Structure 1
Amino acid sequence: METIGTKISKIRKQKGMSQEELSDLSKINLRTLQRIEKDENEPRGNTLKQICEVLKINIEELLDYGKKEDNSYLIFLHLSIISNIIIPLGNIILPLILWLNKRDNIIEVNNQGKNI
């Protein structure tokens, strides 16, 4: 699971920004941003809000509130595709039901469900 600092660093690099640019635009200290990206510090409310505004992302993209990892559910989601052997169109219906039930509760279910 990625930490907040690595997510911020990855998004910043995708947008083609340097740490200096991000710190200037978000009006936070460069050293603070460096510590956040190295996971030495957790960004507090206002700092996180300013970073997200500059990067034009939602705070929810960085934080996984209440989400947990459950690899067995992901495996079951992928194996549900072969349910068409028993149920016609089961390879569509069962994965859809599983995805809709847990997409907001388990990490990576939303991405994997969309791919399936």
Structure 2
Amino acid sequence: TGANATVTVAHSRTRELPSITRQADILVAAIGRPHFIGADHVKDGAVVIDVGINRIEDSSAKRGYRLVGDVDFDAVAPKCAAITPVPGGVGVMTIAMLMRNTIRACEQAPGAA
């Protein structure tokens, strides 16, 4: 029924990484290298979640840099069923969950009203 999954963990120096990542229906990238994951790493119709956040120099940007993910968004997006952008992707959910957990911790603390 499609309810099973096999989780594979790889890193930037895994041999033949593109052939491994191309097997993924869901690919989570957290490598720490800007634009490391290219179109050759992703199969058609995959869901790509880019957790990476990297600062790269950009003289045209107001601050002199811009933020990019570990996935080359422009190259990979046309192949994907869904992809998270950087910035504006999973970071928003990270902040929301941190706030939720902070509130829960306060509510469960001894002496909380």
TM-score w.r.t. the length of structure 2 is 0.25
Structure with the bigger percentage of helix: 1
Please give the TM-score of this superposition, normalised by the length of structure 1. Answer: 0.24
Computing the radius of gyration from Cα coordinates, the structure with the larger value is: 1
Q: Which has the higher strand share?
A: 2
